[in-house]
Structures are given as structure tokens and as C-alpha cells.
A = this chain, B = another copy of it.
């Protein structure tokens, strides 16, 4: 069985591969808050396990085997988050740290039961897709709210950033997944957006808009 450490590395590498395709040592070190030499030795180990392709000084590439293994861990993470929100009444800002631990539990039955009780959800509470048991994952086809034009009416589908602070900010503005948002105005200077949704009218910063994924 792989250690929690290995699983956490692999997950970070997988996520960085999605974002940039080219994964580098420094990015992993920052994401995991470990030193560069620690990453270097773990990367060699993962390569030895056939999960990465590693050549000195070259960007890292995750293998298909690595991708699948990572996706299965992410599956457990996201199912857990969904379960905590839907079945245990937690807020979407409370679940990540718990899921970060539960994702390492070794018990197919446990996660399969969550999946079943949830009715086989496709997305987690933050709108990210839940990989299937084979490690296949739907690609996000949403655009950023920041790329929308005045007059458009869109639906909030997912978040591209899920820090506690951001989620609490969204709570404070009653911004939830599924709400319909109308873009009223875009300020040319700073790209701030005036939007209307569910009885609210708010001005959202360009930073916030860039993290909101809509369709």
C-alpha cells in the first residue's frame, strides 16, 4: 500500500499536470510546503514506481498509471467532500481538511457506499468532477465569469479556487453553485463586474470573477 506521503505528492503532481502539463519540482515543493531536495528524492521514487517520467533537469511527466492512481485518490477526496456536505451537514468551506485525511483510507466498500448513498454524484461541492472508479475524469468545459460580457446570463457551475477564505467570502455574498447570474456592467478600467443574482446586486472584483466558473 502506498503511503500518505506518496499519495499526497501524486495528487499535487496530477493537479499541476492538468493546469500546465509541464510539472516542475519547485511547484510541487511549494504546494506541499516541503524542500526542493525532498521533492527531488520523492520524484525519483515515483519514477521508479512507474508513476512519473523523470529525466534530470527536465520537466516531469505523469504516466497513465500515475494519472489513474492520482484520480482514484481524488475520487475518494471529492466523494468525501460531497458526503460531508450532503449527508453530514457541513459547509463547503469546512470539508477540505477532513477529506485530505479521509482520502487515504483504504476501503473500497467505504467509498462505494458513500457514492451509492449520494446517488453517484458527478461533481463535488465545489463543482469539480468526481473521477470514476477506473480513474477516468470528465474535463471541465466551463468558462470563467471574467470572460463574460454585459447582458449575458450564466449559471455558476464551479470554482477554480477553493480556499476557506474565498468560500467564506462567497457564503457572505450568497453565491452558491447553481445560481443564475446576470452581468450588468463591466468596468473597463479594472474589469470589476456589476452582477445580479437571486435578489442580490453586487460588484465583484476581477479576481473573484476569474475564480467563478460558469456556463
Residues of A within 8 A of B (CB): 84, 87-90, 94, 97-98, 101-102, 104-107, 109-110, 113-114, 117
Contact = CB atoms under 8 A, between A and B. Distances in A.
16 contacts: A87-B87, A88-B110, A88-B113, A88-B114, A90-B109, A90-B113, A94-B109, A97-B107, A98-B105, A98-B107, A98-B109, A101-B104, A101-B105, A101-B106, A101-B107, A102-B102
Contacts of A97: 107
Contacts of A114: 88
A-B residue pairs, 9 tightest by C-beta: A101-B105, A98-B107, A88-B113, A98-B110, A102-B105, A88-B117, A101-B106, A89-B113, A94-B109
Q: Which of A87, A89, A101, A106 gathers most chain B CB within 10 Å?
A: A101
Nearest to A106: B101
Contacts of A88: 110, 113-114, 117
